[in-house]
Amino acid sequence: MATRAQEGGRSRPIAPRSRVQQDRLFYTGMNLYVATVVFAGFARTYYLSHWFDPPPRTPPMSPLLHIHAFCFTLWIILTVVQPALIAGGSRRLHHRLGWFAAAVAILVWLLGNIVSAQSIKIGYRAMGDPYAFYTITFFSMQAFGIIVLAAIVKRREAETHKRLMLLSSAAVLEAAFGRLPLHVIEIAAPVSFYVGSELIILAGIFYDRSTRGHVHPVWSWGGGALVASQVFRVAIMQTGPWLAFAHAVSAIAGPR
């Protein structure tokens, strides 16, 4: 049976030790899954590019793309390290590193928006109309920023915070998942890009149901909103208003 402890003048329930251990394994494992998909997805174009021929029409790596890739990689590493620190009992280091992680997240969001806007002209050539495809990356970056901001605001609420952090990874996983060298992903693009994200949401729902008996609002509301945004992107990507917006963004962003 759970007991209670005092924190900031308020009592909070202490989860049974077995559930705490389960949480540590689940969140560490899920973030390792994200890191694996990211590495596999970008292996041919970045991490192992010296040993692979790049896919057709892959844009050359500019200094800005290298900086973006470095910040994104650092973020993925931090999403693995942070829950691992909690699992190892290093809460103080986890909290200190959290502010550095927040700064990295801001860079990921900022650079992601810049790179995706500039890539309209040369980065989406293999995906049909690049102005239509910009819906995928644009809404992905905005979802990432909103979710990470919510996670920072809720940093003192561990149950909410850790779910939001994992959901933020789901928001940007489509870029890596869509690059996996699987024919079924290519022929079903861009809808297939979302499968990796949906697996995280479904895993979170299933885990909560099996360990808590109910689904946390982060998965029901946050996950639901993310899925709804994915459907929305596909629905508007060929519409006149969206294409006009994408052309305007491309004109402002200019060449790399």
Question: Do residues 173 and 197 lie in contact, with contact meaning Cβ atoms separated by under 8 Å?
Answer: yes
Tell the burial category of 195 from Cβ atoms under 10 Å away from its Cβ (0-12, 13-18, 19+): middle
pLDDT at 144: 97
Question: What is the rounded CA–CA span in Å between residue 123 and residue 69?
Answer: 14
Read off the pLDDT of residues 145-195 as tens digits, 9 standing for 90 and up.
Answer: 999 999 999 999 999 999 999 999 999 998 888 777 765 556 555 666 788
Predicted local confidence at residue 167, as pLDDT: 96
pLDDT of residue 146: 97
pLDDT for the residue 129: 81
pTM: 0.86
Question: pLDDT tens, position by position, for the chain (256 residues)?
Answer: 444 444 444 544 445 667 778 888 899 999 999 999 999 989 888 888 878 776 666 667 788 889 999 999 999 999 999 988 888 888 889 888 999 999 999 999 999 999 999 888 765 555 568 898 899 899 999 999 999 999 999 999 999 999 999 999 999 998 888 777 765 556 555 666 788 899 999 999 999 999 999 999 999 999 999 999 999 998 999 999 999 999 999 888 765 4
The 10s digit of each residue's pLDDT in 214-225 is 999 999 999 999
What pLDDT does residue 4 have?
Answer: 46
